[in-house]
Amino acid sequence: MFESLSERLQGVFDQLGRKGKLTEKDVDEALRQVRLALLEADVNFRVVRDFVARVRERAIGVEVLQSLSPSQQVVKIVNEQLLELLGEPARLATAPAPPTVIMLVGLQGSGKTTTSAKLAVHMKKQGSQPLLVAADPYRPAAVTQLQILGKQIEVPVYSESGAAPPDVCAAAVRQARINGQSTVILDTAGRLHVDEDLMNELLEIKRKTSPTEILLVADAMSGQDAVKVAQEFQERIGITGLILTKLDGDTRGGAALSVRQVSGVPIKFVGVGERTDALEPFHPDRMASRILGMGDVLSLIERAQENFDEQRVLELQKKMKSNTFDLEDFLDQMRQLRKMGPLSQIMDMIPGMSKAMKQGGGDAALQEKELKQIEAIILSMTPHERHHPEVIGGSRRRRIARGSGTTTANVNQLLSQFRQAQQMMKMMAGGKIPKGMAGLFR
């Protein structure tokens, strides 16, 4: 979501890097570009004004203008100010005695119901026993949607037909206490806009359940509207944190940079996809790093640890050393990689990779399509062919191409790439660095 902003900022820093020494005029021109980039990203204008003023105050200091690498000093200052803007990492509070009640609030369409399920999945991973509560009787099929999601993720859903939402929530908390469920997640009703009836109902739910956390679910793609909604809910209900949804969307991202500063409450989670496990704790330092084009290696490692089978990795290492890595293993690794999320997200996490792809004319969506094509080709092979690709001759290649809806040239290209990968693995397993890769290991 920060692709455009990241490109603009990197352009500014590249210009500064070409100057041996910086003058106050250079800094002012760079900050003018930073200001425009932030405004175009839909960051709140007051937040932009204060941000740029703080950066300028430090950037025109003697330690920057007279340093050996002034452009790097400016990047460091911008990074530090971004961290200040995004706030400290904030985690969910827990009740002194279970259950911990988490009340989700927000406008209709912000993604509360799916976020409720995602949060339940997150809590299960933390060892909690969550209970989902369907407290939105107004939106058609809202209760049914939560029940379907609950069944998918194997989390119980509490609902009562015809009862008022505050009574449903209070009864659910009582049941959770009896059944020993440690977390109760309240999926409350929303409206298309903030109104008195909604606020009164939410205040009554708050009074009857005494929630530990009241989290506003806000759509990151709604830009400054999300900031206004956060202000209103904070003033009327008193929220303790935010969950920004659709952070993987094609949006300018200003809400993420504005909402914490304007509302005064921290962002606790971000939604990064449609899947029920696509909810991540918010890490301000990682967000700042991605905005500045420095990647997010820690998140990449965490995703890999969640999605890759450790035993399978050890087996593959043995196969690499014995040179028995085949197309079945290749397909398995490709599927493991795709489980980590869209390729564009993964590329953004690797420092410099997104920029390198653009310079090389690469496109993540196109590469995603190529991965699907490779999968189709391998699946069109017989098990014997996958284990022994050397037997694939001309007639077999034509059959595989027909079966996968591709061309013989596509099949030839895959087999050629696989042979190269095999050779590289064999060399690396023997402790040799393939020609052309030596620079990566210096």
**CATH code, domain carrying 390:** 1.10.260.30
- Alpha-carbon distance of 97 to 90, in angstroms, equals 21
- Alpha-carbon distance of 209 to 258, in angstroms, equals 30
Q: Per the domain annotation, does 261 fall within a domain?
A: yes
CATH number at residue 15: 1.20.120.140
- Alpha-carbon distance of 345 to 343, in angstroms, equals 5
CATH number at residue 135: 3.40.50.300
- Domains of the chain: total: 3
pLDDT at 78: 84
Q: Per the domain annotation, does 440 fall within a domain?
A: no
Please tell me whether residues 350 and 220 are part of one structural domain: no
Q: What torsion, rounded to 10 degrees, do the Cα atoms 196, 202, 203, 205 define? A: 150
Q: Per the domain annotation, does 442 fall within a domain?
A: no
pLDDT at 152: 95
pLDDT tens over the chain, length 442 residues: 566 777 777 788 778 777 767 788 888 888 888 888 888 888 888 888 999 999 888 888 766 666 657 777 788 888 888 888 888 888 899 999 999 999 999 988 888 999 999 999 999 999 999 999 999 999 888 999 999 999 999 999 999 988 999 999 999 999 999 999 999 999 999 887 878 888 999 999 999 999 999 999 988 777 777 788 888 899 999 999 999 887 766 555 677 778 888 888 889 998 888 888 889 888 888 777 777 765 544 555 555 556 556 666 667 667 766 777 788 887 877 777 666 666 555 655 544 444 544 444 455 555 667 778 888 999 999 999 998 888 999 999 999 999 999 999 999 988 988 887 777 666 655 554 444 433 333 3
Q: Name the nearest CA neighbour of 130 among 117, 113, 115.
A: 117
Q: Per the domain annotation, does 217 fall within a domain?
A: yes
Please tell me whether residues 265 and 190 are part of one structural domain: yes
pTM of the prediction? 0.66
> Among the three residues 262, 294, 326, which one is the final residue of a domain in this structure?
294
Please tell me whether residues 290 and 309 are part of one structural domain: no
Judging by DSSP bridges, how do beta strands 130-135 and 183-188 pair with one another? parallel
Please tell me whether residues 254 and 395 are part of one structural domain: no
Please tell me whether residues 341 and 385 are part of one structural domain: yes
The upper half-sphere exposure of residue 1, i.e. CA atoms within 13 Å in the direction of its Cβ, equals 26
Structure tokens at 285: 């330092």
Q: Report whether 81 contacts 55 (CB < 8 A).
A: yes
Please tell me whether residues 156 and 198 are part of one structural domain: yes
Q: Report whether 329 contacts 317 (CB < 8 A).
A: no
Backbone angles phi, psi at 214, to 5 degrees: -120, 105
Please tell me whether residues 61 and 115 are part of one structural domain: no
pLDDT at 340: 65
Please tell me whether residues 232 and 314 are part of one structural domain: no
> Among the three residues 86, 108, 128, which one is the final residue of a domain in this structure?
86
Q: Report whether 218 contacts 106 (CB < 8 A).
A: yes
Please tell me whether residues 152 and 288 are part of one structural domain: yes
Q: Which domain holds residue 45?
A: 3-86
Q: Per the domain annotation, does 15 fall within a domain?
A: yes
Q: Count CB-CB contacts under 10 A for residue 17.
A: 14
Please tell me whether residues 157 and 261 are part of one structural domain: yes
Please tell me whether residues 309 and 169 are part of one structural domain: no
Q: What torsion, rounded to 10 degrees, do the Cα atoms 268, 274, 278, 284 define? A: -40
Q: Per the domain annotation, does 127 fall within a domain?
A: yes
Q: What torsion, rounded to 10 degrees, do the Cα atoms 229, 231, 235, 236 define? A: 0
Q: Per the domain annotation, does 364 fall within a domain?
A: yes
Q: Per the domain annotation, does 131 fall within a domain?
A: yes
Please tell me whether residues 322 and 421 are part of one structural domain: yes
> Among the three residues 260, 294, 328, which one is the final residue of a domain in this structure?
294
